[in-house]
Structure 1
Amino acid sequence: MALTQQFARVPPEYLDRCRASALDSPGAAPNWDPPAEDLLDAGWAVWGLIRHCRGPGAAPATVALLERAVSGDPDGDADFLDHDEVYDGLTDPPRVLGATAVADIAHGLDAIDVGVLLADLPASSAEAAAVCGFGPRFVGDVRAHMGEQLAAMRQFYRVAAHRGWCVVVWVD
């Protein structure tokens, strides 16, 4: 089973209801079930993008932005999401990004020039896959794959920011 980066965009009131449900139910079940259109499985491409950005050329602020977008904020009150109803428990529990953080991240993601960010990625798919940590089994255009995943994450955060919603992040 491969681990993948997961995102859910939810209104703050939804998180409040989940928190109340976890407090009221015998098994601490948060009654977590966001609509499919508010979920994003980003696979593992964003981790490769972060690994690439840690090399020469990318601004540290870009790396920090991407890491925050996938890791969340450590100070959020999200203990109620540490439940098998939400994630498989193999990794750290989900973290919440509040509406202000989501707006900041959306703005930052929109400012990234993907062409510039990926300009020094090797032209060979095998070499690019190695630089990004994808391994020899990766098939396809690494640059296009990472660009597509970044575009999906950018759109996801943009919609959440427009709605004034939170984003919950986890690995599953």
Structure 2
Amino acid sequence: MISLDQVILLEEKVENAVAKIVQLNAENAALRRKCAELTNALSAKTEQFSSFQTDQGKIEEGILKALERLNAVENAVHTATADVQASVQKQPQILVQQADKTTEQTSIQNSFEQKNTENSSIQDKAVQHSFDTAIPVQNQQTEQENSVKNEESSEKTETIQPSFDIF
């Protein structure tokens, strides 16, 4: 048979087991709450991470587009600068060429004026009259020479016309 001591000992063990079960149930509930909180936090962090990745892709695309625009602007500036430098370098050359042509035209005109003054002084000094007219023969010859010279000078001045470049 069962003794009273055995029943009391059994009762104590049952009470201890019940207390332990209550404690473990409380601990289990606390751990389940903690697990649920961590699961919610993990899903929130996962969503945040995916939105950061999406935003990062958009940011990278925006940066690349901005860099492409800057490169295009930089290339345009370099091209414009090179064009301006080229035109600035051409202008002194054009001015020098024009000055050379002007100097050449002036010297040609001066030489023609000298020859004309020489011819007129020769005409004044030596005048021969022809038998047909009262016009001096020398004058007829110098007029023909002057007309030939004028034609030559007009041809030379026409060929030495300065040209202008338009940018």
Q: Give the TM-score category using the shorter length.
A: under 0.3
Please give the TM-score of this superposition, normalised by the length of structure 2: 0.25
| Larger helix proportion of the pair | 2
Structure with greater Cα Rg? 2
Greater relative contact order (Cα < 8 A, sep 6+) = 1
